[in-house]
Amino acid sequence: MKRIIQTAGFVLVSFLGLLALSARAGGAELNLLLVTVDTLRPDRLSCYSPKHLETPRIDALAAKGVLFERAFAHDPITLASHANILLGMTSLAHGVSENSLSIVAPDYLTLAELLKDRGYATGAFVSAFPLDSRFGLNQGFDVYDDSYPAKPTSQGLFSERPAEKTITAALEWLSDKKGPWFCWIHLWDPHAPYAAPEPYASRFMDKPYAGEVAYVDAELGRLLDELGRKGMIGQTVIVLTADHGESLGEHGEMTHGYFAYNSTLWVPLVIAAPGAKAARVKDDVSHVDIFPTVCDLLAVDKPSSLHGDSLAPFLKGKTRKTRPIYFESLDAYLNRGWAPVRGVIENGKKYIESPIPELYDLESDFGEEKNLAAAENLSPYKKRLREVMDLGASPLLAQAGRQTTDRETKERLRSLGYAASRAAQTKATYGPEDDLKTLLPFEQKTDLASQLQKQGRLAESVRLLEDVIKERKDFGKAYDQLFEIYRSQGLLDDGLQVLERAFTANPGNYLIVSGYGIALVKNGMDRKGAEILEKALGLYDRDATAWNSLGVAYGKTGDFEKARAAFSRALALAPDDALFNDNVGSFHVTVALKTKNPEAARESIGYFEKAIAADSSLAPAYNGLGGALRILGRNDEAIKNWEKAVELDPSFAFAAYNLAVAYLEKGDKAKALENCQKYLLIRGRSITAEERKEINALIQKIKG
């Protein structure tokens, strides 16, 4: 039985007696379709505002259901918001407040687990890395499809797949469902960088964000049309929302995850259900209200741990008692050591607690342009925020502040994000110098430096970044960008010196320390990289990427036992990661070659196959599998895998070299020579003297 953590003070009111909605339509149990669109502003949907573009398919859904005009996220960031939705509680209880280091603990009951226990088929189809299964939201799903490419595109920060592919995968899963099902579909497309496919890119050339929204609208129309053709619409509760919005320059923020203004906390929310009355609701509602609403609509008993109240009365044309809405923006606090941002929305007022506090009247100033904090007594608002936070906190949170020798408790707290999850050193108190509003000019300078870099104005970009670092030695983003500029110009040593400066100035910041270690390993400085990564993992030890890099470093330095241990930790945290499995496979091939033990090559095959299963476009995995098969004497199979590697990545020089050697051994000199020439073409001017000597020797052997 899943342990449900009780949260004091949240007494749920049951509206089942008020509902005329039936959990059965035509005698069948209702299905649940949850669609979350990443980074979607309500005012870019024409059912909310006609100013920017037409979104006819979402409009049609809203016209049949209930549109909530004032729905709010509790966090302006992807993983935390989805945890709030699927757990029905805020991070005050579950501890997930950022994207990079948090993991949803198995202690908590997810919506998928609740419905699965009641006979529902459960499937999730997510579109980007922040919702990777390693972060724990896969709990309760029969299928958790996070099959985006292993590596991000050249433009993107995260690996992702487009709405078309995610929806197609979901429709394939739904195609044979007979009994009740819960399907969650997450679409990433409106997230930066904004690069919609044609014809939307051309139609919205001057408004690329709007182009992404228009594309998503069309793809959602395809999804709804197909469900209609299958006769499922009349049997399905549909919930459409976003994880958060997008600032698009408002309040000086270009994207999201920094401030907690309505530009990123205000989200669309549409609920359509059989028997529901179409309506528009002006009451304040939030993400944690979705879970209890689903319970009411599907006639499922609500867990006592939920923070929200059901919205089901609104679907019958009734109302409900309003509740305070807690919100936060803690990514910069946890990962950069800056002041936390927390607040509460209640009775038309929004209080933002930070070293420079803010208060807004949302009835007259929804855009938050006039800060009333200086003219009002803030004591009642501060008190109310503390009350809301105390009511929402998990009992385990209180334990996090106490010293304990109980190993089990420490591990539970660690998994909840309350222990060893802060990437940066935090302070006992914060002053105006730590306020995000004070730090915004530095954030904007780094963004400007990035734009200058893209324009080729590198000297100006470097000067800006050095100015930021001079004033704020804890500004990790500036160091990272400066490193990338030097690296891109072939000045790797200068770039690594930048990261060493960052490490020296911020030895307690996990992201800075681990970033330096990972960069060292990527660039062949394995011994020092391992040393730095050990320091990083002493600060926080649940980052699969850092363990993977440490495994690579130890493998390359010949410390095979430490490499095995590090890779084991990486795969324990992210067992299905394509790149990690490829690296472990390559490690075993290295061991096989160094120790002349073919069993290590045999062991590598499973890892390569798992990597390929996770990402069939990952050329290095085919190359590595070819190497393992070659060691085992399965040469024809090896050649097939190397050919596949070159097919997937025509610039893969080493796969071409492997093919040249293999074809020469088969006696096919024409193909051997062809691959030698391909290798030389790929390497071009970057070829080293030693590599040229080796390839020339091979060519002479072929010709001889």
- Residue range of the domain that includes 457: 435-506
Are 287 and 85 spatial neighbours (Cβ–Cβ below 8 Å)?
Answer: yes
Residues 6+ apart with CB under 8 A from 595: none
Peptide bond preceding 106: is omega within 30 degrees of 0, i.e. cis? no
Q: What residues form DSSP beta bridges with 269?
A: 241
Distance of CA 453 to the CA centre of its chain: 26
3-class SS string, 25-69: ECCEECEEEEEEECCCCHHHCCCCCCCCCCCHHHHHHHHHCEEEE
Are 3 and 394 spatial neighbours (Cβ–Cβ below 8 Å)?
Answer: no
Distance of CA 296 to the CA centre of its chain: 30
What is the average pLDDT score of the chain?
91
Q: What are the tokens at 560? A: 């095979």
- How confident is the model at residue 544, as a pLDDT? 94
One domain for residues 32 and 163: yes
Quick one: which H or E segment has residue 24?
Answer: strand 24-25
CATH of the domain at 445: 1.25.40.10
CATH of the domain at 91: 3.40.720.10
- How confident is the model at residue 156, as a pLDDT? 59
Q: Which of 450, 478, 506 finishes a domain?
A: 506
- Does 23 have pLDDT greater than 90? no
Residue 223 lies inside a defined structural domain of this protein: yes
Identify the residue whose tokens are 């995000």.
436
- How confident is the model at residue 394, as a pLDDT? 67
Q: What pLDDT, in 10s, does the model give residues 424-442? A: 777 889 999 999 999 999 9
Q: What pLDDT, in 10s, does the model give residues 677-699? A: 999 999 999 899 999 999 999 99
Q: What residues form DSSP beta bridges with 33?
A: 183, 238
Residue 210 lies inside a defined structural domain of this protein: yes
Type of residue at 399: Q
Q: How far apart are CA 54 and CA 47, in angstroms?
A: 8
Listed residue (509, 370, 356) closest to 439, CA to CA: 356
Q: What pLDDT, in 10s, does the model give residues 638-675? A: 999 999 999 999 999 999 999 999 999 999 999 999 99
Q: What are the tokens at 458? A: 């590198």
Q: What residues form DSSP beta bridges with 353?
A: 342
Residues 6+ apart with CB under 8 A from 390: 9
Average pLDDT estimate for 238-256: 97
Residues 6+ apart with CB under 8 A from 11: none
On the 0-12 / 13-18 / 19+ scale of CB atoms within 10 A, 564 is middle
Q: Which of 466, 484, 506 finishes a domain?
A: 506
One domain for residues 74 and 207: yes
Q: What pLDDT, in 10s, does the model give residues 476-512? A: 999 999 999 999 999 999 999 999 999 999 999 999 9
Residue 372 lies inside a defined structural domain of this protein: no
Number of domains in the chain: 2
One domain for residues 315 and 461: no
Task: For residue 433, give Cα distances in angstroms to 338, 368, 427, 512.
Answer: 9, 22, 13, 21
Query: How confident is residue 11, by pLDDT bands cut at 50, 70 and 90?
Result: very low
Residues 6+ apart with CB under 8 A from 225: none
Residue 24 lies inside a defined structural domain of this protein: yes
Task: For residue 431, give Cα distances in angstroms to 354, 380, 434, 540.
Answer: 9, 21, 6, 26
Residue 388 lies inside a defined structural domain of this protein: no
Q: Which of 320, 346, 379 finishes a domain?
A: 320
Residue 366 lies inside a defined structural domain of this protein: no
Q: What pLDDT, in 10s, does the model give residues 67-116? A: 999 999 999 999 999 999 999 999 999 999 998 888 898 889 999 999 99
Identify the residue whose tokens are 């807690």.
326
Positive or negative torsion for Cα 29, 308, 103, 38: positive
Residue 502 lies inside a defined structural domain of this protein: yes
- How confident is the model at residue 422, as a pLDDT? 63
Helix (H, G, I), strand (E, B) or coil at 697: helix
- How confident is the model at residue 657, as a pLDDT? 95
On the 0-12 / 13-18 / 19+ scale of CB atoms within 10 A, 206 is exposed
Query: How confident is residue 404, by pLDDT bands cut at 50, 70 and 90?
Result: very low
For a pLDDT cut of 70, what percent of the chain falls above it? 91
Residue 49 lies inside a defined structural domain of this protein: yes
Q: What are the tokens at 424? A: 């940066």
Quick one: which H or E segment has residue 511?
Answer: helix 510-522
Phi, psi of 134 (to 5 degrees): -60, -20
Are 624 and 591 spatial neighbours (Cβ–Cβ below 8 Å)?
Answer: no
Q: What are the tokens at 465? A: 């970044």
Compute the chain's Rg from CA coordinates: 27
Identify the residue whose tokens are 């990402």.
615
- Does 167 have pLDDT greater than 80? yes
Q: What are the tokens at 232? A: 């499922």
